[in-house]
Structure 1
Amino acid sequence: MRFLSSLLLAALIVEQVLGEYGMAHFSDWGNSKGKDYCIFFNSQWARLPQDLSKATRLQTYDLTSSVLCSPSDVPEGGFPNSIPMVMRGNCTFYEKVRLAQINGAKGLLIVSKDRLTPPSGNKSQYEEIGIPVALLSYKDMLDISKTFGEKRQVAMYAPNEPVVDYNMVLIFLMAVGTVALGGYWAGSRDIKKRYMKHKRDDGAEKQDEETVDVTPIMICVFVVMCCSMLVLLYFFYDQLVYMTIATFCLASAVSLYSCLWPFVRRIPFGKCRIPENNLPYCHKRPQVRMLILSAFCIGVSVTWGVFRNEDQWAWILQDALGIAFCLYMLKTIRLPTFKACTLLLVVLFVYDVFFVFITPLLTKSGESIMVEVAAGPSDSSTHEKLPMVLKVPRLNSSPLVLCDRPFSLLGFGDILVPGLLVAYCHRFDILMQTSQIYFLACTIGYGIGLLITFVALTLMQMGQPALLYLVPCTLLTSLAVALWRKELPLFWTGSGFVPPPIIMEQINCTQTPGPSTDEPPSNPEPATSETNNQREDPTPATQEEVPHLTDASNT
C-alpha cells in the first residue's frame, strides 16, 4: 500500500493552473494576412486588446542575438515605435522591459527555449511599466524567420475564450461518475464482505484486496507526508517526477486489473490453469484468463508511459488509467466513521488552501508552491508534468487552442478525498436501510461543489483549491441529512443497524426447543427465565446484534 499512498499524496498536489495566454499575429509589412502564434503574458504589466482589429500593428526589431540586459545591448537609435524580439536569460523580466520602454519600444517579445511562464514582477515594477511584455517560444521564432521577411509587423491581442468549454462537461461527468461508481462499489463490497461468505473457485487465489481502515493517527501522518512530498517536489522536481510517473504506471496497472477482473471472471473461457512451474508469481498455477488480463493491463500502462507526451491520444489512456486508479483506491481505503471523514476532509481543506493562497507570501517568486509543482517549475529541464490528473483537450474554436494550454485538468485528489465520504455514506445507507438517501445527497453535493469550482476558475482566472468548495458541499450536505433524520449520533460513530422486530422475534423463538424435537426439554422454566431476562436487559443483545462500521473482525 505504500506506493498507492504515494500516488494519493501526489494526487492531492495537482490543481488546474490557468495562465494568461494571448496571440501574436505576424505578417509581412503592408500585408494584413498573416499567421497567429501563441504568447504568454502577464496582464499586470499591460493589458492586450481582445480583438485583432483593435490591436496596433507595429514593426518588429529582431534582436534575438542579444538578451537585452544592459544598455550596451541597445542599438543606436533604440526601438522607436517597434516591438523588439530578444532572448530570455541573464537578467529579470523587469530589467529587459525597462530598457525596452526607455528606448522607445511599444512592447517586448522575449523568446524562450524553455517552457513558457508568465513574466513576473512586483507591484512597484508593474506600476512603472506601461508596455506589454510576452514570451514567445523559440520554435515559433524559427518559423517566423522562415515564413516572413525582414520587414515584418506584429499585433498582440488576447481573444476572449468561451465561458464554458465542452471539455469541462466531460471532466464533470467523469469526476461525478467516478465518485458515484466508486462510492457505490466500495460500500456494497464492504457490506457484502461483512454479511456474506464469498464463493471462490477451488484453489483460486484471493482476488479481493483487503480494505484499510483509516485512523486519526494515520490521517495526521498522511497530511505530514503530503506537505513533505509537496515541498520536496518543489525543490527536487526533476529528480522526483520520473519516480512519480513510474509509480503511477505500476499502480494504474494494478488498479485496472482490479477493476476489470469482476467482469473477466464471468467469462466462461480461460479457466484452465497453467502447468506446474517455479516461476515468480506463477507457482500457484493462475488461470489463463488471469495472465491474459495481467498482460493487457501492463501493456496499457506501459503504452501510456512511453507515449505520455502524445497530446492527440495519450490523454485517453491517462484518463482511463486514472479512473481505474481512483476506483481502486476508493474500494481499498475505508473511512470507518463520519468523525474520521470530517477530520480528513477538514485537515486537507486547510492543506489545500494554505499551499494555494498562503505560500505565495512565503516564496521569493510570489508563486504558490502547489501551482509551481502542478505546472512544473519554470527552471525544470525535464518539461514533464505530474500524471495525477484527468485531462481533456479543449473543444472550442478559440485561437488560444494553439497555445500550450490545450487541456483542462482535474486532480485525482479532488475525486478521491470527497469520494471516501461518499463511500461511507453508502455503507451507512445499507446498514440503516435508508434507500440510499445519504449516498445520493452526498453525490449531489459533490457535483454542486465541482460546478462552483469551475465557476470560480472562470471568474478569478487563477488556480483554485478545489477542496475549498468540495469539502463544505459534501460535509455539510451529509451532516444536514443526518440532522434531518435525527441520526447524527449513529452517523457520527458509524453504528446504528437495528434488525427489524420480526428478526428479533425469530431469534427468541429459536432459543426454546420446538415440538418437533425428539426429546422434550429437560428444564423449560430456566429457558423461559433466560429468555425473559434477555428481554428485560437488552444490553447483551444490543452488543451482539448491532454491528459497528469500525469493527470488521466481529462480523
Structure 2
Amino acid sequence: ALSVAPVPLPVPVPVACEYGMVHVLSESGTPRGKDYCILYNPQWAHLPQDLSKASLLQLRNWTASLLCSPSDLPASGFSNQIPLVARGNCTFYEKVRLAQSSGARGLLIVSKEKLVPPGGNKTQYEEIGIPVALLSHRDMLDIFRSFGQAVRVALYAPSEPVLDYNMVIIFIMAVGTVAVGGYWAGSRDVKKRSMKHKRDDGPEKQEDEAVDVTPVMICVFVVLCCCMLVLLYHFYDHLVYAIIGIFCLASSTGLYSCLAPCVRRLPFCRCRVPDNSLPYFHKRPQARMLLLALFCIAVSVVWGVFRNEDQWAWVLQDALGVAFCLYMLKTIRLPTFKACTLLLLVLFIYDVFFVFVTPFLTRSGNSIMVEVATGPSDSATREKLPMVLKVPRLNASPLALCDRPFSLLGFGDILVPGLLVAYCHRFGLQAQSSRIYFVACTVAYGIGLLATFMALALMQRGQPALLYLVPCTLVASFLVALWRRELGAFWTGSGFAKDLPQTQWAPAPADSPQPPKDSDAPLSPQPASQEPVRSPLPPEQPQEPSTPEATEAPASASEPRTLGSSTLEAAGQAQAQAQPSPAAQLGTSA
C-alpha cells in the first residue's frame, strides 16, 4: 500500500457520520465509569465535545422492542431517558420520531451487524431535535454485565487531536530505514564493483546479487500493482491470507539478511555441519547461520499466530517490516537517475489516482487505496494487510476505542524513495562528493514526509504520501547534480562500470618501469612470436607520431594486460623498458 493513513476520519459519503462516546455509570453509586464507542449522525442533533457538559440520563433497556409503531412505546413513556432499542423492520426516522414524542432525550439503537450512520432526509433532520446513535451488540452486553441493569449514560463526541505523538515514531522509523537502507545498498554496491577482479569462492561469499531495474520491469511492476490493488478491493477476504503468508516468508528472509553480517562477525561458534549430500547442506554452512535462520522463521511465525494482538504484535510487525524494506533496498538497484525518475513519476500517478480519483469511481465513494490499506469496514475476516508500519495512538482520546487505533505508513512510501536515496549514495561515492547527494536526498525525504503529515492534519483523510515525497526527492537530487555540474553523468549513471575499478586497481606506481604481473601472461605462451617483432624495429620508431601505441608505451605499461593484448603493444612495451626516453618518463609521471 502506497499511502499514509494515520487514523483518518471516514471518507465523506452521502450520509454524514462521526464517532462519539457513551459514558456509562452504575446507579448503585460506583464512581468509576466506562466509555463505549457509538456512531452517530450530527444532522439529527449535535453532541457536546466535553463530557462535563453532557447530561447524565437513565438508560432504558427496551431492546425487546423494535420501536416501529406506537404500540411499542411503554405506558409511562421515556421521559428524560435514553431508550436502548433493537435495530430492524423500520427506518431510523420512525424510531427516533416515536422516541422523541414520548419524551426521550436521545436514542441508542443496538446493532448486531456493522455500525452504519443513521440517515434520513433534510425534512426529517429539521423535525428531530434529539441525538440518535448506533451501539454494537457486544458493547451492550458488556454494559449490563459490568454495571447491571440500572445505569446512567451520557452521550458526547470528544474532539480528536489533529496529529498524534506516534507520528514522531513513524517519522523516525521511515527516515531511519531510508537512510540506513540507502547507505547500506550504495556502499555495498560500490564495494562489490571495486572487488570485481578478486575471486572469492569461499563459503562466506555473498549469494545474493542486486537486480537492476529496467523500464520494462517498471511498467510490468506498476501494472501488477494496479491489478493486485483492484483484486484486493473486490476480493479482500480471499486474498488477505495470501498476502499475510507472503509477508511472513519475505520478512523472515529480510530479517536473516540484516542479521547475518552481524552474526558473521562473532568470534565464536564457527563450527560447520558435517559432510552430507543434502540440498544446500552439502555446502556445510555454519551452525550459527542455521540457528539464525531458525530464529528469523520463529519470529515470523510468532507474528503470524498473534498478529491480531493489538497490545504488542505491532512491534514485531514493524521490526519485520523494517528488515523487509532494508532487504529490498539492498537487492533492487536503479542503475540511472533516468530509471529513478521514471519509476517515481509512474508510481506518483498511481498513488494519486487510487487515493483521490477512485472515490469518484466507486459506489461507496471510498478511496480504493485507503480502503485496502486500512481494511474494508465490511470485511468478514477483520484482517489487516501487514504491508505497513503501524504504531498505536499515544494520545488519551477516548475515540481510540472506536476504530483504527493505529497510524499507518505503507512500505511503498519507504521503498520507492529509498531506491533513489541508494542511487544517490552510489553516485556520490563514485563522484567523490562527500556524500552530498545522499544527505540531500535523505533530508528531502524527511521534508516530504513532514509535508504529508501536514496535509493529513489539514484534510483529515488518508494521503498519497508519494504526492509529496516524489517531488521533494527528485527536485533535491536534480538540483545537487546541477549545482555540481554533473547532471549528464548523474542522469545516465556513467562511470560506475569502467572508472571505479581502474582507479582502485592500478597495480604498479606511475613511475615504475616494470610492467605489472598481468602483462607477463601474453609473453609466456608466445615466446617465439616476440623475437621477430623486437629485432626488426628501427631505433626511431618509438618516436614516430603515426604509431600511438609506441609513443604511449610507458603509459600503457602501467595498465594491466589481458591475454588478448596484441604483439605490437608487447613489442612497444619491451622497447620502452630497454630504452626509456625522458619524454616517455615524463608522460608516465603525468
TM-score interval w.r.t. the shorter chain? 0.7 to 0.9
SS of equivalent to 2:351: helix
Correspondence 1:404-443 to 2 at 5 A: 404-443=403-442
Tell me how far apart the structure 2 counterparts of residues 308 and 125 of structure 1 sit (CA, whole Å): 47
SS of equivalent to 1:153: strand
- How far apart are residue 106 of structure 1 and its match? 5.1
Counterpart of 1:545 in structure 2 is none
Tell me how far apart the structure 1 counterparts of residues 141 and 460 of structure 2 sit (CA, whole Å): 31
- How far apart are residue 135 of structure 1 and its match? 4.0
Counterpart of 1:166 in structure 2 is 165
Counterpart of 2:239 in structure 1 is 240
Q: Are the aligned partners of 1:445 and 1:473 in contact in 2 as well (CA < 8 Å)?
A: yes
Counterpart of 2:445 in structure 1 is 446
Counterpart of 2:23 in structure 1 is 25
- The structure number with the bigger radius of gyration is 2
SS of equivalent to 1:380: coil
Counterpart of 2:478 in structure 1 is 479
Q: Are the aligned partners of 1:24 and 1:39 in contact in 2 as well (CA < 8 Å)?
A: yes
Gaps (5+ residues) in structure 1? 1-10, 536-540, 542-555
- How far apart are residue 344 of structure 1 and its match? 1.3
Correspondence 1:342-491 to 2 at 5 A: 342-491=341-490
1:100 aligns with 2:118: no
Tell me how far apart the structure 1 counterparts of residues 204 and 419 of structure 2 sit (CA, whole Å): 27
SS of equivalent to 1:301: helix
Tell me how far apart the structure 2 counterparts of residues 143 and 127 of structure 1 sit (CA, whole Å): 31
- How far apart are residue 33 of structure 1 and its match? 4.3
The change in CA–CA distance for 1:289 and 1:29 in structure 2 (over 3 A counts) is closer
- Deviates most, 384-393 or 480-489: 480-489
Q: Are the aligned partners of 1:17 and 1:371 in contact in 2 as well (CA < 8 Å)?
A: no
1:530 aligns with 2:548: yes
Root-mean-square deviation (CA, aligned residues, Å) is 3.8
Correspondence 1:121-132 to 2 at 5 A: 132=131
Q: Are the aligned partners of 2:20 and 2:40 in contact in 1 as well (CA < 8 Å)?
A: no
- Deviates most, 208-217 or 516-525: 516-525
Tell me how far apart the structure 2 counterparts of residues 36 and 21 of structure 1 sit (CA, whole Å): 16
Q: Are the aligned partners of 2:232 and 2:239 in contact in 1 as well (CA < 8 Å)?
A: yes
Counterpart of 1:182 in structure 2 is 181
Q: Are the aligned partners of 2:335 and 2:423 in contact in 1 as well (CA < 8 Å)?
A: yes
SS of equivalent to 2:326: helix
- How far apart are residue 216 of structure 1 and its match? 1.4
- Deviates most, 154-163 or 413-422: 154-163
For these two proteins, the number of residue pairs brought into alignment is 519
The change in CA–CA distance for 1:371 and 1:283 in structure 2 (over 3 A counts) is same
SS of equivalent to 2:283: coil
The change in CA–CA distance for 1:450 and 1:122 in structure 2 (over 3 A counts) is farther
Q: Are the aligned partners of 1:178 and 1:326 in contact in 2 as well (CA < 8 Å)?
A: yes
Q: Are the aligned partners of 2:93 and 2:120 in contact in 1 as well (CA < 8 Å)?
A: no
- How far apart are residue 291 of structure 1 and its match? 0.5
SS of equivalent to 1:155: strand
TM-score norm. by structure 2 comes to: 0.77
| 1:69-89 residue CA offsets vs partner (Å, 9 max, x unmatched) | x65895468866654434567
Q: Are the aligned partners of 2:212 and 2:332 in contact in 1 as well (CA < 8 Å)?
A: yes
Tell me how far apart the structure 2 counterparts of residues 395 and 65 of structure 1 sit (CA, whole Å): 39
SS of equivalent to 1:119: coil
Q: Are the aligned partners of 1:118 and 1:135 in contact in 2 as well (CA < 8 Å)?
A: yes
SS of equivalent to 2:290: helix
Counterpart of 2:212 in structure 1 is 213
Counterpart of 1:143 in structure 2 is 142
Tell me how far apart the structure 2 counterparts of residues 130 and 483 of structure 1 sit (CA, whole Å): 64
Tell me how far apart the structure 2 counterparts of residues 335 and 73 of structure 1 sit (CA, whole Å): 73
Tell me how far apart the structure 1 counterparts of residues 405 and 174 of structure 2 sit (CA, whole Å): 19
Counterpart of 1:330 in structure 2 is 329
Tell me how far apart the structure 2 counterparts of residues 306 and 389 of structure 1 sit (CA, whole Å): 18
The one-letter code sitting in structure 2 at the alignment partner of 1:190 is D
SS of equivalent to 2:33: strand
- How far apart are residue 451 of structure 1 and its match? 1.1
Tell me how far apart the structure 2 counterparts of residues 85 and 488 of structure 1 sit (CA, whole Å): 69
